[in-house]
Structure formats: structure tokens, C-alpha cells
Structure 1
Amino acid sequence: MASCTAPLLALSLLVLWTSPALGGTNDAEDCCLSVTQRPIPGNIVRAFRYLLLKDGCRVPAVVFTTLRGHELCAPPDQPWVDRIIRRLHRISAKASLALPPPQPCLLQVPIQDSSP
């Protein structure tokens, strides 16, 4: 009985140890299964992020988030993808320049009169 338990325990530990939920790799739902070769209109994109092989994904991709919240997977090596990313960087830089400088916070503490 004990001779059957040890291999079963070892197999269970191996499965748990290689599980993506416990490891540092991305879940399949975080990765793109394919990418579109058709250019995405840059004016509908509000954000992007990279999903690369080193992140645990099988398909390297740039994930564009549209104004409506949809996520579209694009190949990172295409010129039209670079143009959209540069456009988003320019918009982000302009927005940060347009913000007023931060104002110092003054903490006002009420002073209590301690005289009798």
C-alpha cells in the first residue's frame, strides 16, 4: 500500500508545482491566441500593453484597448502597430504637459487654547 502512495504523492506535487495558478506565468486568458494582420484604426485606441514570450504567452502581441473597452491583439513587429504606439505616447506626453503643476498640501491643525 505504501509503495503505491509515494508515486501518487510525487505526481500530485509535480502537477501542483507546474500549475500556472501557483507559478509566475500568465493564465491563458491573459494571452492572445492569435493576432490580427489587418490594421486597426488608431483613432479608436486608448491604451496598449505588451504580452511577450517571456511573460509566458505563446503568441507575442500588443493588446490595444479601444475606446469602448474591447481588447484587440496585434503583432508587435508591424509598422502600423508602431505608429499607433507612437501616437499614444504623443497623446500621453501632451496630456502630462497640460496638467497644472501639483500644489503643495498644507495641513491645517486647529490650535486649542490651553489657558484657563
Structure 2
Amino acid sequence: MALRILLSLLLLAASLLLHQAEGVDNPASDCCLKTSQKTIPIKLVKTYSIQGPESGCVLRAVVFTTKKNMKICSSPTDPTVQKLIKSLDNRRKNPSQRKPKRQKRKQV
């Protein structure tokens, strides 16, 4: 009986150690490993964030989130990326200046 309790405790301790080793709460588990060189149209982008050592990631990158919730990693030194960031910041500051969405025509 004592052997079963000891084995149960060892199993519990081992599973707790494995759980910590997996890095479940590690913010670096969703880091970009490389950046894309493709130009991203602003109409597809919803938001962006910046990753780097301060967020637990090795690579410094701009992570754009599209309207379909896809993540695109880009180089923060790319001039087109910097222009896109400025456009998104302006969109956030001045939401009234955004173009209204076109309404679909109703078929009669």
C-alpha cells in the first residue's frame, strides 16, 4: 500500500515537472522565427504588435494580424512596413477619416 502511494506521488511530481518544462505560460512560444519580404496591403490588416527580446523572442519583428486573424511577420526596418505601421496608427487615431464600407445593393 505504501508503495502505491509513493509511486503515485512520484508520478504526480514527474507530471508537474513536465508541465513546467513545456512552457505552457511562456510568451515566447508564439514568436516569429523568420520574416516575410512580401508587401502587405493595408486593407487586409487589422492590427499589429512588435516582438523582440522584451517579449521573450529572439527575433525582432512586426507581427501584423489580418482581418482573417492570420499572423504575418515582417522586418521592422523595412520601409514599407514602417509606412504600414504609420497608416495603422493614423487609422487608430482618426477612425472618422476611414472610408465607409460599401453597402451591397439589394436585389429587387
TM-score by length of 1: 0.58
What is the number of residues matched between the two proteins? 83
- Structure 1 or 2, whichever has the larger Rg, is 1
Moved beyond 6 Å, runs of 4+: 15-19
Shift of 1:43: 1.8
Counting aligned pairs with the same residue, the percent is 28
Establish whether residue 41 from structure 1 lines up as the match of residue 22 from structure 2. Answer: no
Shift of 1:40: 1.3
TM-score by length of 2: 0.62
Give yes or no for contact 2:28–2:55 (8 Å, CA) kept in 1: no
Residue number in structure 2 paired with 1:26: 27
Gap change, CA 1:97 and 1:40, over 3 Å in 2: closer
**Superposition CA RMSD, Å:** 2.7
Give yes or no for contact 2:32–2:73 (8 Å, CA) kept in 1: yes
Give yes or no for contact 1:42–1:84 (8 Å, CA) kept in 2: yes
Establish whether residue 82 from structure 1 lines up as the match of residue 82 from structure 2. Answer: yes
Q: Which consecutive unaligned segments of at least 5 residues does structure 1 have?
A: 1-11, 99-116
Residue number in structure 2 paired with 1:73: 73
Shift of 1:96: 7.1
The SS at the match of 2:40 is coil
Gap change, CA 1:54 and 1:18, over 3 Å in 2: farther
